[in-house]
Every structure is written in structure tokens, then in C-alpha cells.
Amino acid sequence: MTPEEALVAAERNHLPVLCSEVVAALAPQDGDLIIDGTFGAGGYSRAILAAAGCGVIGVDRDPEALTEARPWASLYGDRLRLVEGVFSELDTTPDPKEKVGGVVLDIGVSSMQLDRAGRGFSFLRDGALDMRMGSDGPSAADLVNTAEEALLGDILFQYGEERRARVLARAITSARAKSAIRTTVELSRVIEAASPAKKPGQVHPATRTFQALRIAVNDELGELARGLAAAERVLAPGGRLVVVTFHSLEDRIVKRFLKVRSERSGAGVSRHAPGPQAGPDPSFETLTRKPVEAGEAELSSNPRARSARLRAGRRTDAPALPFEARGLGLPGLALEGLA
Ligand SMILES: C[S@@+](CC[C@H](N)C(=O)[O-])C[C@H]1O[C@@H](n2cnc3c(N)ncnc32)[C@H](O)[C@@H]1O
């Protein structure tokens, strides 16, 4: 396959969500350097490269995503650099002398990851219960077979917003006492057997369990919080941060981060001081008072866009503030030391 054919195939196989809205919010200019922290199938990166004479660093923790892109990436020459890594460290990817004009994050799992049975993300495909986006750390099978029942229940409740979390955690620990749960279908059967029959219009009973395990295995919420702080450190004054989320917990983290960073924290009048107490200067100016959502045309061609929310901010020239997870709404789960 030629690079041109590989590019056509990549464009045909993947529909990026809110793509034109992302490019409009990033507003790339000629000569800019943009970091696409969730490169995936490269849909955003290609649209950014088409919108201006800029450069893009495409970061992804999934080596398979980068391998898929290599056949066509050469068409962009040195305008597109691919880097395997996590976006919580995206401030370490550019050369310190390079001025970064934009960072975009598209949070979640890619269609390639969902479609490949061997990655273990989908209960619709039988495969090893893995769910790791990267190549290290404990898998979903490790978690499901070793975590204490109480922690499993917390994970399902907090990350999956699963109301029957305790019942399902008990069903998992009872099943694994008989034999280890190794595949997506084995886990899905355990959840189905412990759930009331699905009524028409309801999602599959394992949907929330799979989502929760995926978020835990990849520490997705912690990554997001640290990724926002890394973007704050790396963006030049005037640079844009654009984040697309698909889950209310993630949207809340982005919303709170931009709110805290765009207010003069600590402002207010103290009884004991003569004037207003100024906190540090805001490091961002919020560009989206309300989240941007997909329009009718996109929803009809891509139902996955239904839950997408875009928020954006513009970096000021104030120094970056120290990273502080408190106040961002991260559930406090003790995930360290699993498996
Ligand atoms: C929804 S897809 C991105 C799709 C992309 N915007 C496009 O247009 O093709 C999310 C991608 O982000 C990657 N990812 C998720 N969390 C990450 C993290 N913490 N660091 C780096 N990449 C991450 C996943 O491996 C996946 O490939």
C-alpha cells in the first residue's frame, strides 16, 4: 500500500468526533506547534495540519495506534512527529525551546481499541480481559481476579456509576473463587447472570462494569487531571487548550480545572484586611462558557458523538500553578498497588 492509499484508508475507517469544532477552538496559525495528546487514528492531527502551516506532535500511549499511522505519516514530513507516551507527560515531548500554541485531548477509547477482540475492551467481542491502552501495568483480568470485593464495588460505583455495584462485585468474587475470569465473555456472563433481564431500550448489563474497569486499569481520570496540568505548563501565552470528553466525570474535571485556573483564587474581602485578597493570577481564560456539543448533522452520521462535550481555554501569561487534584472531583480510590 502506498502512503497515499494508507491515508485514504485511515480517513475512511475513522470518524473523529467534533473535529471541525476542535480545529475552530484550537485556531492553529502558520508556524504553530500543536500537541495532539490522544493521537488515536490521527483524525484531529490531519485536520489541524490541513487548517494551517503548523506542526503537530501526536502522542498516544497505545503503540498500535502509532504503528497504524506510520504508513501515511511520512506524507507530512517533519510537520508530524509521533511520540509513544502518556499525555500527563506531554510537556516533556517538545524541545524546551519550542513554543506550543495548542494542546488537544480527546478522552477515551478509540474505535480501533474497541473493535479488536484481543484488546479486551468490548463485551461484544470474545478476547482476553486486558483493557490496557498502553503495554504495561495490571490488566482488567488482574484487577477482576485479585482486587478486594470492596474496592471492586467502589470502582464499579464511582467509575461506572453502576447502582448495583455491590451486588456485581459480590458476583465477581464468587465466580472467581470457582475459577479465574480470563475473558471478556466470561466476565460479561457473570454480570448478566447477576442482573435482572434487560428490558428493551436498556443498555447491556455489562456496559457500566466494562467502562469502570477500563477507567481504573488506565487510571483515566488521574491521567486527565495531570494532563490538564501538563498542558498548562507547556502552553505558550495565548495558546489554546481544547478537551473533548464522553463521560460526566471527565467533563466535570475539565470544567472545574478551567474554572479554578481562570479565577483569581482566594479573591474576596477579608474581615481583617483592608482590601480584596488577591490570589495568583489566572493561568487560563475560559473560551467556552457552556460545553460545545455535536449538531444534528454529526449526530445522525455518528451516534458516538451524542455524549461528547468540548471545553476550551486560552493560556494567559501568568505562571503555571502547582498541580492540585483536590477540588477537581476525582473519586478518591486507592488504586495503587493493584495486582
Ligand atoms: C478517542 S481516541 C482519539 C481519536 C483521535 N482524536 C482521532 O481523531 O483519531 C483516544 C486515544 O487516546 C489514547 N489515550 C488515552 N489515554 C491516553 C493517555 N493518558 N495518554 C496518551 N494517549 C492516551 C488512546 O490510546 C486512544 O488511541
Listing DSSP states for 204-261 in one string gives PTTHHHHHHHHHHHTTHHHHHHHHHHHHHHHEEEEEEEEEEESSHHHHHHHHHHHHHH
Q: How far is the CA of 113 from the centre of ligand 1 (A)?
A: 10
Per-residue pLDDT band for 329 (boundaries 50, 70, 90) equals confident
Decide which of 323 and 47 is more confident: 47
| Residue ranges, CATH 3.40.50.150, the chain | 3-111+220-315
Residues with Cβ < 8 Å from 115, sequence gap 6 or more?
122, 125
Q: Which residues pair with 276 in a beta bridge?
A: 269
| Residue ranges, CATH 1.10.150.170, the chain | 135-217
Does residue 338 carry a pLDDT above 70?
Answer: no
Backbone angles phi, psi at 98, to 5 degrees: -80, 140
Q: How far is the CA of 36 from the centre of ligand 1 (A)?
A: 9
Q: Probe ligand 1: pick from 21, 26, 38, 80, max atoms within 8 Å of CB?
A: 38
Cα 158 from chain centre: 17
Ligand 1 closest atom vs CA 133: 25
All 3 cell numbers of residue 148?
Answer: 478486594
Q: Whose CA is nearest to atom 14 of ligand 1?
A: 38
Indicate the fold that domain 3-111+220-315 takes in CATH.
Rossmann fold (3.40.50)
pTM for the model: 0.93
Q: How far is the CA of 172 from the centre of ligand 1 (A)?
A: 29
Q: How far is the CA of 24 from the centre of ligand 1 (A)?
A: 20
Helix or strand holding residue 47 (H, E): helix 43-51
Ligand 1 closest atom vs CA 45: 8
Residues with Cβ < 8 Å from 231, sequence gap 6 or more?
35, 37, 90, 91, 103, 105, 241
All 3 cell numbers of residue 102?
Answer: 495548542
The CATH superfamily assigned to 135-217 is Putative methyltransferase TM0872, insert domain (1.10.150.170)
Does residue 274 carry a pLDDT above 60?
Answer: no
Residues with Cβ < 8 Å from 84, sequence gap 6 or more?
59, 60, 61, 63, 66
pLDDT at 53: 97
